[in-house]
């Protein structure tokens, strides 16, 4: 049995662009979109994990004197935070990430 999302997607395309798309093609597009969303979510979790790992390392550094490694860790944490924001808000960045993945 055909999935409701396939019918919905097909009707949306047909109504908006006045073009008929085969249901099989709709299914492929929907699957690809779902896979991309799953990949983006995995990448996001990976970045969050790396950020948290460095944040914990940074808190251990505070017990000691400030070193060059502290600056590096803080810099990496900021990079990870920026990448997380871009994954959420920037379409171009999402496409670049998916191309590399």
**41-45, 47-51, 52-56: segment of lowest average pLDDT:** 52-56
Give the structural domain span for 80. 4-100
Please tell me the distance from the alpha carbon of residue 61 to that of residue 79, in angstroms, as a whole number.
19
Please tell me the distance from the alpha carbon of residue 29 to that of residue 43, in angstroms, as a whole number.
21
Name the one residue in this structure whose structure tokens are 């944490």: 77
pTM of the entire predicted model: 0.69
Tell me the mean pLDDT in the region 43-57.
Answer: 86
The total domain count for the chain is 1
Q: What's the token pair of residue 8?
A: 């919905």
Q: Mean pLDDT of all residues in the chain?
A: 82
Please tell me the distance from the alpha carbon of residue 46 to that of residue 90, in angstroms, as a whole number.
18
Residues 59-90: tens digit of each pLDDT: 655 555 556 667 777 888 889 899 889 888 88
Backbone angles phi, psi at 75, to 5 degrees: -60, -45
């Amino acid at each position: 049995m055909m999935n409701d999302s396939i019918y919905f997607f097909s009707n949306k395309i047909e109504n908006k662009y006045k073009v008929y798309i085969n249901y099989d093609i709709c299914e492929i597009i929907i699957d690809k979109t779902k896979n991309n969303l799953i990949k983006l979510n995995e990448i996001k979790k990976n970045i969050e994990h790396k950020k948290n790992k460095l944040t914990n390392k940074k808190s251990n550094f505070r017990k000691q004197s400030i070193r060059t490694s502290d600056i590096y860790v803080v810099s990496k944490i900021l990079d990870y935070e920026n990448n997380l924001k871009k994954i959420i808000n920037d379409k171009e960045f999402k496409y670049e990430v998916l191309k590399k993945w």
